[in-house]
Amino acid sequence: MPRPYVIMNAAMTLDGKIATKGGDSRISCSKDLDRLHKLRASVDAVMVGAGTVLADDPSLTVRRAKGKNPMRVIIDGTARVPPGAKALDNSSKTIVAVSRRARRDKVKNLQKVGAEVIQVGRDEVNLALLLKKLYERGVRRLLLEGGSTLNWAMLSRGLVDEIRIAISPRIVGGTEAKTLVGGEGFFRVNEGIKLELLRISRVGEDLLLTYRPRGSKC
Ligand SMILES: NC(=O)c1ccc[n+]([C@@H]2O[C@H](COP(=O)([O-])OP(=O)(O)OC[C@H]3O[C@@H](n4cnc5c(N)ncnc54)[C@H](OP(=O)(O)O)[C@@H]3O)[C@@H](O)[C@H]2O)c1
């Protein structure tokens, strides 16, 4: 079934963390933030997990580049993001994808602030089906902006076509600090998702690596 072309983007420290143990995720240098905002302006929708909305309260808009704000998509099985979250403000349309576990009152509160709530999936959000629905709504290019759990869910289901990682020249350590990809993980290295390196470039003080997962269906 047709689905949008999915670009996963993240800023990571050299030791693979996308936030510190204290939850600080401001990893990108200023030039990399400019790049991210340009990238946002080039896609139809930006997608994040509920964990990221709760941790960072991002607005997911285009502020450091020219272009329009993309649609926002929040993956939130139980509708736990607060209606006052910045990603639900009126700067662009927001879709909240929930599962059947979401309570009706919480769904109503999200609808009251203008979000479109789509129920896809029973115990968790069915990401493949959601992408199909987004495609039907005209989304052709989608930017996945994390976090760790959603990155795993998308990658392990073969739903990512391109990966762009800005590596910051810092090491923050911390066993509890979130890494680029969390989730269940693979047992053996040779089960891991094989990537093809497409580009290496410098963005300010960061190193930008672009990969394509082998077996990407787009
Ligand atoms: N440096 C960067 O580039 C960057 C970018 C983004 C985020 N971050 C960091 O990443 C951290 C957040 O990551 P996180 O792992 O806690 O949360 P997350 O990946 O943003 O959100 C995960 C949540 O999404 C919901 N979900 C619903 N259906 C799902 C499905 N099919 N698959 C996966 N998730 C599903 C789950 O909540 P329910 O069970 O309630 O549905 C799950 O707990 C924060 O510290 C943030 O700062 C860093």
- Does 77 sit in the ligand 1 pocket, CB within 6 Å? yes
**Are 79 and 117 contacting, i.e. CB atoms less than 8 angstroms apart?**
yes
- Does 46 sit in the ligand 1 pocket, CB within 6 Å? no
Given the DSSP bridges, would you call strands 141-144 and 116-119 parallel, antiparallel or unpaired?
A: unpaired
In this structure, whether the domain defined by 5-213 belongs to CATH 2.60.40.10 is answered with no
Other C-beta atoms lying within 10 Å of the C-beta of residue 84? 10
Spatial separation of the C-alpha atoms in residues 48 and 71, rounded to whole Å: 11
| 162-168 β-sheet, strand order | 116-119, 94-98, 71-75, 45-49, 141-144, 5-13, 162-168, 206-213, 195-203
Helical (H) or strand (E) element with 12: strand 5-13
Probe residue for ligand 1, chosen from 148, 156, 159 as the CB with the greatest number of ligand atoms within 8 Å: 148
| Tokens found for residue 167 | 């590596």
**Confidence band of 218 (pLDDT split at 50, 70, 90):** low
CA of 178 to the centre of ligand 1 (A): 10
> What are the domain boundaries of the chain?
5-213
The model's pLDDT over 137-160, given as tens digits with 9 standing for 90+, comes to 999 999 999 999 999 999 999 999
- Does 217 have pLDDT greater than 60? no
Mean pLDDT, range 173-200, rounded to an integer: 98
CA of 96 to the centre of ligand 1 (A): 13
- Does 84 have pLDDT greater than 80? yes
Residue whose CA is closest, atom 4 of ligand 1?
Answer: 18
Spatial separation of the C-alpha atoms in residues 164 and 120, rounded to whole Å: 27
Average pLDDT over the chain, rounded to an integer: 97
Write the DSSP assignment of 25-52 as a string of letters: ---S-HHHHHHHHHHHHTSSEEEEEHHH
**Confidence band of 103 (pLDDT split at 50, 70, 90):** very high
Per-residue confidence (pLDDT) for residue 83, from 0 to 100: 98
Query: Of the candidates 98, 3, 90, which has an alpha carbon nearest to the alpha carbon of residue 49?
Result: 98
**Are 76 and 120 contacting, i.e. CB atoms less than 8 angstroms apart?**
no
Residue whose CA is closest, atom 8 of ligand 1?
Answer: 147
Query: What percent of the chain shows pLDDT beyond 70?
Result: 99
- Does 70 sit in the ligand 1 pocket, CB within 6 Å? no
Identify the weakest region by mean pLDDT among 85-94, 164-173, 192-201, 207-216: 207-216
**β-strand partners of 164:** 9, 210
Residue whose CA is closest, atom 13 of ligand 1?
Answer: 147
| Tokens found for residue 47 | 């997608």
Given the DSSP bridges, would you call strands 5-13 and 162-168 parallel, antiparallel or unpaired?
A: parallel
- Does 22 sit in the ligand 1 pocket, CB within 6 Å? no
